[in-house]
Copies of this chain bind each other. A is one copy, B any other.
Amino acid sequence: MCDGRSRKQRTTSRGDTVRPLSPIRFSLPACRPQAALLALTLGAAPGAAWAQSAVQLWGGVDLGVRHVGNDAGSQTRMQSGNNYTSRLAVTGSEDLGGGLKASFWLEGTVNATGGAFGTGASIWDRRSTLSLSGPFGELRLGRDYTPLFRAFAATDVFGYVGAAGMGTLYNATASTPVARAFGSGATTVARANGAVQYYTPRSLGGFYLNAMLAHASGGPEAADFHFRGVRAGYAAGPLDVSAHAGSTRIEATGKHFKVYGLAGVYTGGQAKLTLGAVRMDYLNARQTNYTLGVDWRVGAGQVRAAYHYVDQSGFAADGSSTRGNDAHVLGLGYVHNLSKRTALYGTAAFVHNQGKARFAVPGGLAGAAAGTGSRGFEVGVRHMF
């Protein structure tokens, strides 16, 4: 049972595949003594106990009400995931000995206002990976954040979600490089399917690197493109700085969507300061996004402020210039922590468009005129489990 011998999957004479284990109950060290084994033996698991099992079921539910006003009118709706994307995850790992570890991660969005899925009606749309890690670092396979997103999202004190998240300036109008490269909404901006990733180990004196190759077909956000990206950084003491670059080849056009950026996070005392810059090019259009943020600890609370700015230049698909179609977002928020897991929050966001820009606080009415602003306010509750 507990002899460490390798064992393949068994199949009974009935043809039922014997499930390898049912580990949710205990994280069981190899050959744990009687008390734990008793409980395990009583379970329905037809096989033997695996060594050092650990599976976690965890997630969060975040619901709030957001009011968004713009040129087209105002609208109030319940929104899921304003402070923390509502989600459910099953994760686990196994110590293989010799410093080697296998781990899996299945994590999906819960649209908690109505109980629906997130992206593309997929259950594990946030992450679906299998990793082997050891002294050499980590090799990770499957759907995951791109190294680029890990870098620039880290500079958003609003975590890329809610009324004031930086996503407002990445997702929007038809003239932006993001929208032009990925007209269908299918993107490799945040995540990629079928990716092979490498992470350096934590022992490089603060230096780290994350590289990804992906062919983003299959699963949600499927489309015919190839992605290559890398992030390299240095994290020591209060400082974490990194640079990233990536390219997505859009097979339908044969053109490349390119992203370059710098990210810096300083965490000292009660405050976290963030600074980020990202440039994106596709065909003849360019957008450059800047973010500046602060998250200040005040007792049980966190005061957050962010300034996001997008600068567009070049030409849209119809040949019109996008120069000057810029936008500014000011975000202000307060998070009151009731516990480590549960918090109340309130956020305000102000979007100021220039030129023909049409960026907007998410959740408002469609149809606002180009160059007009939008404002959003939200209050809600976040619970992690």
| Residues on A facing B (Cβ under 8 Å) | 5-9, 11, 13-16, 19-29, 35-36, 39-40, 42-45, 48, 50-65, 76-78, 84, 88-94, 96-97, 100, 102-104, 106, 108, 110-117, 120-130, 132, 141-143, 145, 150-151, 153-154, 193-196, 199, 208, 210, 215, 217-222, 233, 235, 240, 300, 302, 335, 337-342, 380-381, 383-385
Q: A263: nearest residue on chain B (CB-CB)?
A: B15
Copies of this protein in the complex: 3
The answer on a CB contact under 8 Å between A20 and B58 is yes
Residues of B within 8 A of A57 (CB): 22-24, 55, 57, 90
A-B contact pairs, 20 of them (CB 8 A): A8-B302, A11-B154, A20-B58, A28-B42, A44-B56, A44-B91, A61-B142, A63-B142, A65-B196, A78-B218, A102-B341, A104-B383, A112-B124, A113-B219, A114-B218, A115-B193, A116-B218, A117-B122, A121-B121, A141-B381
The answer on a CB contact under 8 Å between A341 and B20 is yes
* Cα–Cα distance between A143 and B110 once the two chains are bound (Å): 12
Q: 4 closest pairs, A vs B, by CB? A: A114-B219, A22-B56, A15-B150, A115-B124
* Cα–Cα distance between A60 and B63 once the two chains are bound (Å): 27
CB < 8 Å neighbour of A194 from B20, B78, B128, B339: B78
Residues of B within 8 A of A26 (CB): 25, 39
- Tell me how far the C-beta of A140 lies from the nearest C-beta in chain B, rounded to whole angstroms: 10
CB < 8 Å neighbour of A340 from B7, B93, B97, B195: B7
Residues of B within 8 A of A45 (CB): 56
Residues of B within 8 A of A44 (CB): 27, 54, 56, 91-93, 103
- Tell me how far the C-beta of A42 lies from the nearest C-beta in chain B, rounded to whole angstroms: 4
Known: A19-B91, A113-B143. A13 touches B340 (CB 8 A): no
Q: A125: nearest residue on chain B (CB-CB)?
A: B115
- Tell me how far the C-beta of A370 lies from the nearest C-beta in chain B, rounded to whole angstroms: 26
Known: A21-B58, A56-B24, A143-B114. A385 touches B210 (CB 8 A): no
The answer on a CB contact under 8 Å between B22 and A25 is no
* Cα–Cα distance between A14 and B140 once the two chains are bound (Å): 13
Residues of B within 8 A of A51 (CB): 339-340
CB < 8 Å neighbour of A61 from B89, B100, B106, B339: B106
Known: A114-B218, A122-B117. A43 touches B56 (CB 8 A): yes
17 more A-B residue pairs beyond the given contacts A104-B383, A115-B220, with a C-beta to C-beta distance below 8 A: A13-B208, A13-B240, A15-B153, A19-B58, A22-B91, A27-B43, A35-B35, A36-B39, A59-B90, A63-B130, A77-B194, A78-B141, A88-B106, A94-B341, A96-B339, A113-B193, A114-B220
- Tell me how far the C-beta of A99 lies from the nearest C-beta in chain B, rounded to whole angstroms: 12
- Tell me how far the C-beta of A98 lies from the nearest C-beta in chain B, rounded to whole angstroms: 10
The answer on a CB contact under 8 Å between A58 and B27 is no
The answer on a CB contact under 8 Å between B20 and A340 is yes
- Tell me how far the C-beta of A2 lies from the nearest C-beta in chain B, rounded to whole angstroms: 10
Residues of B within 8 A of A55 (CB): 22, 24, 57-58, 385
The answer on a CB contact under 8 Å between B114 and A127 is no
- Tell me how far the C-beta of A164 lies from the nearest C-beta in chain B, rounded to whole angstroms: 17
* Cα–Cα distance between A193 and B77 once the two chains are bound (Å): 11
- Tell me how far the C-beta of A23 lies from the nearest C-beta in chain B, rounded to whole angstroms: 7
Q: A108: nearest residue on chain B (CB-CB)?
A: B115
CB < 8 Å neighbour of A128 from B9, B115, B153: B115
